[in-house]
């Protein structure tokens, strides 16, 4: 039969609660980049590559929190083949960096070679 002192049991419970709360705080932490920053980063990519990618207009740019990152979606009007079409471009933005999450966003990010 094991003999546990009340102080050791209390200490063990306190330690367990501390570890659990630390994990929960990290899991629910806000993204390192703000929504406005994420949108600005994607807007900059689109503006820099508007001419070579035949982007005539940006209809909207939205950002939705995805864990510690932002999923940024841009709806743009492109006319690469002469016919204007609305395209949806998607990036994941984290710590100030945008990573293309769709093929067309990848093409725009690289200047539409």
**Beta partners for residue 90, in sequence order:** 73
CA distance 27 to 70: 15
Please state the length of the chain: 113
Alpha carbon 93 to its chain's center: 4
Give the mean pLDDT of 1-20.
Answer: 57
pLDDT digits (tens, 9 = 90+) for 40-85: 999 999 999 999 999 999 999 999 999 999 999 999 999 977 789 9
Give the mean pLDDT of 17-43.
Answer: 72
Sign of CA dihedral 20, 21, 27, 28: positive
Cα angle vertex 32, ends 38, 14, to 5°? 155
pLDDT at 2 over 70: no
In which element (H, E) is residue 98 found?
Answer: strand 97-100
pTM exceeds cut of 0.85: no
Q: Label residue 2 exposed, middle or buried (CB < 10 Å: 0-12, 13-18, 19+).
A: exposed
Q: What is the pLDDT of residue 5?
A: 62
CB 86 within 8 A of CB 77: yes
């Amino acid at each position: 039969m094991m003999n546990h002192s009340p102080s050791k049991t209390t200490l063990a419970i306190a330690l367990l609660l501390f570890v659990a709360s630390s994990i929960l705080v990290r899991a629910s932490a806000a993204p390192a980049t703000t929504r406005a920053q994420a949108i600005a980063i994607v807007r900059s990519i689109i503006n820099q590559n508007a001419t070579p990618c035949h982007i005539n207009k940006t209809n909207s740019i939205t950002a939705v929190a995805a864990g510690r990152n932002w999923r940024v979606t841009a709806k743009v009007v492109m006319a690469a083949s002469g016919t204007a079409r609305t395209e949806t471009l998607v990036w994941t933005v984290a710590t100030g960096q945008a990573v293309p999450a769709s093929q067309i966003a990848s093409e725009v990010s690289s200047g539409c070679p």
